[in-house]
Amino acid sequence: MEENLCAVTSKRRALYNTGGKAKHMAAERKDTGIDPRVKLLQILLFGMMLFFLHTNIGNSLQIAVLIGFLIFLRLPVCGLRLALYYGGLSLLDQLLSGAAQYKIVAAITLIIFLLRKFSSIMGIYYLFIRAMTVGELLSALGALRVPQKIIIPLAVTLRFFPTILQEVSIIRDVLRLRGRPLTFLSFCHRPMEMLEYVFVPFMMRCVRIADELSAAAVARGIENPAKHTAMFPLKFRWQDGVYFTVLIGSSAALIAYEALL
């Protein structure tokens, strides 16, 4: 069922992500092929670590570990982007800390502090969006016994994101044709009216898509109570074991480092 849907989704997603280099993406994915359940655990672990790391050095080390994982997962560009973002913020913080007696500078350093604090979210986002396909995510959740009532809407939700932009652009075209273009000015002029002009057709289309999607899913046997098969069955291999050990080891080391300080 949704695994089937998802095979299509992952292909399409690869197309969206790389602008047509789907083949390349698939080849790229094959060499790591880390079990998505381990990646899911990694995302949770790194997200929770935000609350444990209290020092600047611990924070920087976490970013370094994240970059290491991103490079291992064949996402060097994402790793570089994260490094530049974090490095830039740190540099700015260093430059501004000399002039902290001014009110405005103190306020700006707070902003920079918060941005820097949350910058590991950027790495987590890459892990979630770029290192995992929707199909992998769903089969991982299925293996973790997440109920179908959550998995089916989640599959729909994840598949629907690209469609939202398409639908909105269609509605913008129609509004322009009808002489009510959606611009910043027209929105400021009559906000509630413009919201209504956008929301009503958009939601009508969404309702229709929901009907069509559910008809298609039922036709493919989504309501079959038997166990569904997956195109790429989950397997925990020795590589996953190594990855898992490194993950747990590095997280434990980071937290231990913080606790000892």
Residue number with CB closer to another protein (74 or 201):
201
Tokens read off for 66 = 């994240």
Residues near another protein, by CB under 8 A: 40, 43-44, 46-48, 50-51, 54, 56, 97-101, 103, 106-107, 110-111, 113-114, 117-118, 120-121, 124-125, 128, 149-150, 152-158, 160-161, 164, 192, 195-196, 199-200, 202-204, 206-207, 209-211, 213-214, 217-218, 222-223
The 10 Å CB-count burial string (b at 16+, else e) for 188-200 is eeeeeebeebbee
Residue number with CB closer to another protein (91 or 207):
207
17 sits in which H/E element = helix 2-18
Tokens read off for 168 = 């909105």
Residues in the chain: 261
Tell me the closest approach of the beta carbon of residue 24 to another protein, in angstroms: 25
DSSP 190: S
Residue number with CB closer to another protein (173 or 193):
193
DSSP string, 93-130: HHHHGGGTTSHHHHHHHHHHHHHHHTTHHHHHHHHHHT
Tell me the closest approach of the beta carbon of residue 23 to another protein, in angstroms: 27
Tell me the closest approach of the beta carbon of residue 173 to another protein, in angstroms: 19
Tell me the closest approach of the beta carbon of residue 117 to another protein, in angstroms: 6
C-alpha to C-alpha distances, 78 to 65, 66, 83, 129, 131, nearest whole angstrom = 13, 10, 9, 11, 10
HSE-CB at 121 with a 13 A cutoff on CA atoms is 8
Tell me the closest approach of the beta carbon of residue 34 to another protein, in angstroms: 16
Tell me the closest approach of the beta carbon of residue 135 to another protein, in angstroms: 15
Residue number with CB closer to another protein (27 or 102):
102
Residue number with CB closer to another protein (129 or 242):
129
Residue number with CB closer to another protein (18 or 214):
214
